[in-house]
Amino acid sequence: MAALLGTALVQVGILLFAVPAVILTFTLGLVFLYPPAVRLVRGTAEEARGRVGAWSGIRIASPYLPEPAPPQPMTDGLYRYERTLYKSPRVPAWNARWKWLTTDPATWRDLLWLLLDPPVKLALLPVLLVAPAKGLRVYGQWCALLLSATRTSVLRGQLTHLHRSRSIAADSQAAEMRRIERDLHDGTQARLIAIGMTLGAAEELMDSDPAAAKTLMSKARDTSAETLTELRRLIRGIHPPVLAERGLADAVRALAMDTALRVEVEVDLPHRPEPPVEAAVYFAVSELLANAARHGDARSAGVDISSDGPSLRITVTDDGLGGADPAKGSGLRGIERRLAAFDGVMAIDSPPGGPTTVMMVLPKVLPEHWAGTLPRLPRWKAVVVALCWSLAWCPTFPQGVVAAVFKTFEIPEKSWFLALYAPEPFQWPAILLMLALGLGMYATAIAIPAKHNRDRWLAEAPRRLGLG
């Protein structure tokens, strides 16, 4: 209680600085006051988010957009901000930060919250005194109203993230293409030219010196065998044939056989993941095993691949020297880049002296229904659907259609057609009501599963369309 009121006093103090600072920024152009003011307000808001979480259990996530990256010099050493070039990074950095702080709606929502929070606290004071728990919850809801992430900011955050992971994926793909091009150009193509030339020379010598021609031809054959070997190595680097032929589990087993380590492979997947995911996992495991043998001096290793709901979980352990650090090795960096395309993350536990454990998680890369986590139709909905299907005939046909026929042809028989027992002016409305009820039940029985399946389809759609 005292803390709550204490913070109110601090907030008033901060307001006395922040509000004039922001006003001065936009009226007199004292822009240097702006960043510290925003920083202070954000600090207060962040502190309040933490406190609300601790007091009332209402968790409020930070809504801020990610900070802009420091400007990168272009090839000519200049820095660009929109359509202007600068010699030093100072101005572009300032511009980017200015834009970041002013366009983020969270900045203004924070300020609004700060203005209104002290009066709200005062207003809530009686409730807090009488029922502290309830009062705190109300206070938490009030804070969540202005301090939590808006839909826009969540989407913007995701967009920034997608942007980044897309550019990483595109970069690594481009690099891969360049490597393949270089290999084909320097290796395969050059060797094929050599074979062609050797064969040409053999053709010329065929009549004059058959023995020399024969030597040349066998040389051409040797070169073609070498070319094949090289091509095979190249193909293995692009997409290993076992992976295409057998899928991830056997490909990793084949990999394990080919390393000098003793490797235990455990794969527990109900189906094959999508090919790009398989390839990423394969190359990650391949790199990790190679690292273990090359740098870690390991003797044995373990690979465990399993599904965790819709996520793919890969653990690679080895008994080597440890000390693996992504900051040092480009191989680990490469794995991170490959996984980033699938929002995958990697955690390395490698104390000096070993053992090393690398854990990778690729979230939501498996179709959800494999894992059985896909929401099944809730029980009550299933019961409603069953009841509708089993009972809808009754109001529709006997009580609706047949009663209508009896009524139309004025058949005196009433049988068990309820509507015909009603007084005369209500008989037709009652029949129509029965029909509407019956048809409505049929419609419900169809609509509930259809909507459920549509939600399920929508949940899977991004991946099906190749966007996930």
Partner 1 sequence: MGERVLIAEDLYLLRDGLVHLLQAHGFSVVAAVESGPDLLTGLVELRPDVSIVDVRLPPTFTDEGLQAALEARRRVPGLPILVLSQHVEQLYARELLADGSGAIGYLLKDRVLNAGQFVDAVRRVAAGGTAMDPEVIAKLLASNARHEPLAALTPRERQVLEAMAEGRSNAAIAQRLYLSESAVAKHTASIFAKLDLAPSEDDNRRVLAVLAYLNSR
* Contacts with partner 1, residue ranges (CB under 8 A): 221, 224-225, 228-229, 232, 235-236, 241-242, 244-246, 250, 253-254, 257-260, 299
Could you tell me the smallest distance in angstroms from the CB atom of residue 253 to partner 1? 6
Could you tell me the smallest distance in angstroms from the CB atom of residue 257 to partner 1? 4
Closest to 4 (Cα-Cα) out of 43, 39, 56, 40? 56
Rounded Cα gap, residues 55 and 3, in angstroms:
11
Could you tell me the smallest distance in angstroms from the CB atom of residue 221 to partner 1? 6
User: Which two structure tokens, joined as six digits, stand for 178?
Assistant: 């360049």
Residue closer to partner 1 by CB (options 172, 300) is: 300
Residue closer to partner 1 by CB (options 133, 225) is: 225
Rounded Cα gap, residues 343 and 364, in angstroms:
9
Residue closer to partner 1 by CB (options 134, 299) is: 299
Residue closer to partner 1 by CB (options 90, 236) is: 236
Could you tell me the smallest distance in angstroms from the CB atom of residue 367 to partner 1? 20
Do residues 305 and 313 touch, judged by C-beta distance below 8 A? yes
Burial class (CB in 10 A: 0-12, 13-18, 19+), 390: exposed
Residue closer to partner 1 by CB (options 96, 298) is: 298
Could you tell me the smallest distance in angstroms from the CB atom of residue 196 to partner 1? 16
Residue closer to partner 1 by CB (options 263, 332) is: 263
| Backbone φ/ψ region at 167: left (φ over 0), alpha (ψ -120 to 50), beta | alpha
Could you tell me the smallest distance in angstroms from the CB atom of residue 201 to partner 1? 19
Could you tell me the smallest distance in angstroms from the CB atom of residue 204 to partner 1? 23
Helical ranges in 57-150 per DSSP H: 90-103, 105-130, 132-147
Residue closer to partner 1 by CB (options 126, 196) is: 196
Could you tell me the smallest distance in angstroms from the CB atom of residue 468 to partner 1? 25
Amino acid at the residue 302:
G
SS3 309: coil
Cβ-Cβ contacts under 8 Å for 132 (sequence gap 6 or more): 1
Could you tell me the smallest distance in angstroms from the CB atom of residue 262 to partner 1? 8
Q: Compute CA distances 225 → 183, 191, 239, 240, whole Å.
A: 17, 10, 21, 20
Rounded Cα gap, residues 74 and 71, in angstroms:
9
Could you tell me the smallest distance in angstroms from the CB atom of residue 464 to partner 1? 22
Rounded Cα gap, residues 33 and 23, in angstroms:
10
Q: What is the 3-state secondary structure (H, E, C) of 46-64?
A: HHHHHHHHHHHCCCCCCCC
Do residues 376 and 210 touch, judged by C-beta distance below 8 A? no
Helix count (H) and strand count (E) of the chain? 17, 7
Half-sphere exposure of 43 (CA within 13 A, CB side): 12
Residue closer to partner 1 by CB (options 20, 241) is: 241
User: Which two structure tokens, joined as six digits, stand for 88?
Assistant: 């030093």
Residue closer to partner 1 by CB (options 7, 223) is: 223
Cβ-Cβ contacts under 8 Å for 273 (sequence gap 6 or more): 248, 281, 312, 365, 366
Residue closer to partner 1 by CB (options 286, 427) is: 286
